């Protein structure tokens, strides 16, 4: 799976869990909350990979690229 596909998949998984209402509107805040949740997950994966063989989960660099893709959504 490409980093772009993984980023979209992670963000989409939080659609039902991220609340999005604020004074500026619903949709914009919802996607920001989804992205924040997805970034937390990626950070936790990267922490788990630190000090271990980077071949697991396609390596630390893969997840760094996923973070960049999430931020660009």
In 10 A of CB 14, how many CB atoms?
18
Q: In which domain, by residue range, is 41 found?
A: 3-72
pLDDT tens for each residue of 49-71: 887 765 555 678 899 999 999 99
Q: How many domains does the structure of the chain reveal?
A: 1
Mean pLDDT of the chain: 84
Of residues 23 and 59, which shows the higher confidence score? 59
pTM over 0.85: no
């Amino acid at each position: 799976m490409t980093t772009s596909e993984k980023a979209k998949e992670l963000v989409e998984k939080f659609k039902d869990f991220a609340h999005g209402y604020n004074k500026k509107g619903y949709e914009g805040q919802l996607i920001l909350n989804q992205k924040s949740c997805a970034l937390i997950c990626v950070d936790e994966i990267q922490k788990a990979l630190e000090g271990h063989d980077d071949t697991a989960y396609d390596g630390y660099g893969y997840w760094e690229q996923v973070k960049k893709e999430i931020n660009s959504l």
